[in-house]
Amino acid sequence: MKSEHYRFPFHVIFHPFDGYWDLKYDGKGRVRIAAAIIAMLVLSTVLQRQFAGFMVNFNDPRYLNSLNDLIYTVAPFLLFCIANWSITTLMEGEGKFREIVIATAYAMLPIVLINLPMTFISRMLTMEEAAFYYLATSIAIVWTGYLLFVGIMTVHQYTATKTVITLVMTVIAMGIVVFIGTLIFSMASQIFYFFYNIYRELIFRV
Amino acid sequence: MKKLLLSLGILSLIIASVPLGALHAETPYEAYTYNYYSDSVPLPAPFVPERQVSGQDLGVGAFRDPGDVFVTSDGTVYILDSGNNRILRTDSQWGRAEVIAGFENEGREDALRNPQGLFVSDDHAIYVADTDNNRIVVLSPEGELLRTVESPESDVLPSGFVFFPVKLTVDDAGRIFVVARGVYEGLMQFDEDGSFIGYSGTISVRQTFADRIWRMLATREQRSRMQLFIPTEFSNLDIDTKGFVYATNIDTHAQTPIRRLNPSGQDVLKRFGYYPVMGDIRFRQFGNNSGPSRMTDIKVLDGGIYVAMDSFRGRLFAYNDEGQLLYAFGGKGTQLGLFNIPAAVERVGEQLLVLDRGKSALIVFTPTLFGRTVHAATEYRYQGDDAEAVALWEDVLRMNANYDLAYLGIGKSLLMDRKNKEAMEYFKLGMDRKYYSLAFKRYRREVMQEHFGTFMTTAAVLIAALVAWLIYRKVRARGKAHEVGAL
């Protein structure tokens, strides 16, 4: 792992077209760095939900759960990658799954970079100044959205219109994955209880 | 041995039945309030049922469907015994009641017929909404007819209008505000001579989006058979010392069942609490016992406190003048302190009275130490005496550490004393972001002023270090470039 690898995500977020091109064709992206960014995203979410200032923190402390934060950050990320891969494979996308994961993870960097310091700064804000906090977090989200758009477009070598269409379809596909997932889960549990009940019947009769 | 055990058993029963004082009083209901997160939080009971007063207790025979009760400022209790068409007068010691049954009207004997509403002025003029006789009757303290207010005549009233007064209240100037059955335009106002002035506090109708779509899709015939969009009627009313009318209405779709009407009929109730002033905010949406509270009576107490009665679940809700829920208690049932069909709520001294039509009795509630302390602190706060209130709020917190309003009360007083940091803590406990922000702003300025020198020194040192580093980097880069050039 060279220092170049650590610096590359910063290059990507400031020069997305250039950066994602290098990521795809010069192989500059690293899965490990992507994992680190996602880990930091989880950390920033946990810290933000727990420690953001009273003025901007509307979470009920009784129901804060870091494990849930972890699941609700990582699961959508993986879901997006899988759904996007599924859609783009059918739509002549040139991106590999690895590239999608790296491109998506690198796009999350602005959220980490802005939310971590904002969590600290929000503790020193009054009600009127809370607008700045919301402005900063909105900028982070818009920035990430833009990076995601450019990333997907470059990785799959799409036109802008096709990227928008695939992104919309990705969201739909995410919904389908969740639906089928729940379906399988509930079927599996029913099958399990079916055999479990047979077992119990047998136990009672033997 | 058996005898010993038996006597021990009896002894323990006797001990168990001895009341344990007001704070630990057993009540058949659980008192509660709602916290910032809209969860109901149990409270120590603010009121305990003391006794039930029936017609037999007052020596006048059983009540029949009593409709209303009124207590004057000097503590005289008037009960409107609607089914028996009579008015009963007693005192707060519940001595033998006087009966006012008939009166002489233009030389003939006259009587009330199914009267529903009662108001007594401070000089003991008795105003009765004589519902089935379509009139309002004003009686002297001795039960002689002073005047009647008959069915009004006015251009704004539809032809064939029948006047069914149900509830009424009177302001200091003698103006009568009437809730009449089948009148959707608001409260009817009469001047002191009994002539109709107009309506007050009209409830506007809201059509939901779905309603509008349905109406658009329906044919003319279907539309004519649809239910009309008419505003809800008021259900009851009371007047405060400043002449503002508090009125309740039953509207299952709106969140404003309680209104405070100013003299021009606008709703000026303060709703500064965490949630709407509507009784229960958490309730079942479907099935048994579902739906919002149905407010059918309201009573204004001292210090801006008002108590609204939910006849649906049989609960009383007390709010302060800012629309924050102080406590809620009550329920339906047959035990002492529970209601069957609650008809009216009143107060006598510090006690609360609930007239129960189903039980044909008055239920008397006495405040506990907790209830009394909350009331006293709220009154001080209402008068702007935050410093006086602090000690009381601290007492409240000792009895119930989950009482948000107490934290707010103490916080405000600390803020006044410029103890900003402590105030911040209390506002955070009371979940009030506006005041927390205020306290924090002051505290931040305080810290900044105190450490201004340190701040500036640190900033200067940091800037100097940054400049030095930049120069160093530039110099080194130039040196490297020189080396490269030399190669």
Which among B37, B436, B441 has CB closest to A54? Answer: B436
The residue among A126, A129, A132, A133 with the most chain B CBs within 10 A of its CB, best to mutate, is A126
Angle at B375 between CA B369 and CA B378, to 5 degrees: 135
Range of weakest confidence among B23-27, B276-280, B474-478: B23-27
Q: How many CA atoms lie within 13 A of A48 on its CB side?
A: 22
Instruction: Give the model confidence (pLDDT) of A51-61 as tens digits.
Output: 999 999 999 99
The answer to whether residue B231 scores a pLDDT higher than 90 is: no
Q: Where are the domains of chain B?
A: 47-367, 400-450, 453-487
The partner residues of B200 in beta bridges, in order of sequence, read: B187
Rounded Cα–Cα distance for residues A38 and A72 (Å): 12
- In chain A, which residues have their Cβ closer than 8 Å to the Cβ of B438? 126
| pLDDT of B271 | 93
Helix, strand, coil percentages (3-state) for chain B, rounded to 5, are 30, 30, 40
User: CB distance A127–B444 less than 8 Å?
Assistant: no
Rounded Cα–Cα distance for residues B419 and B314 (Å): 43
Residue with tokens 């909350």: B374
The answer to whether residue A15 scores a pLDDT higher than 50 is: yes
The pLDDT > 70 percentage for chain B reads 93
Amino acid identity at A68: N
pLDDT, mean of residues B479-483: 68
Rounded Cα–Cα distance for residues B167 and B247 (Å): 10
| pLDDT of B14 | 58
Split at pLDDT 50, 70, 90, the class of B2 is low
Residue A53, token pair as written in the block? 């200032």
Return the closest-CA partner of residue B338 out of B307, B315, B366: B315
User: CB distance A55–B433 less than 8 Å?
Assistant: yes
Provide the ipTM: 0.83
pTM comes to: 0.83
A26 touches chain B (CB under 8 A): no
User: CB distance B444–A54 less than 8 Å?
Assistant: no
- In chain B, which residues have their Cβ closer than 8 Å to the Cβ of A126? 437-438, 440-441, 444
Q: Give the homologous superfamily in CATH for domain B47-367.
A: TolB, C-terminal domain (2.120.10.30)
User: CB distance B437–A126 less than 8 Å?
Assistant: yes
* B337 Cβ contact list (under 8 Å, min separation 6): B27, B28, B29, B48, B49, B330, B363, B365
| pLDDT of B19 | 46
Rounded Cα–Cα distance for residues B475 and B398 (Å): 68
Rounded Cα–Cα distance for residues B361 and B447 (Å): 62
Kindly provide the b/e burial profile for residues A139-175, where b requires at least 16 CB atoms within 10 angstroms of the residue's own CB. Answer: ebeebbeebbbbbbbbbbebeeebbeebbebbeebbe
User: CB distance A54–B433 less than 8 Å?
Assistant: yes
- In chain B, which residues have their Cβ closer than 8 Å to the Cβ of A63? none
SS3 at position B209: helix
Q: Is the distance from CB of B165 to CB of B136 less than 8 angstroms? A: yes
- In chain B, which residues have their Cβ closer than 8 Å to the Cβ of A127? 433-434, 437
The residue among B427, B428, B437 with the most chain A CBs within 10 A of its CB, best to mutate, is B437
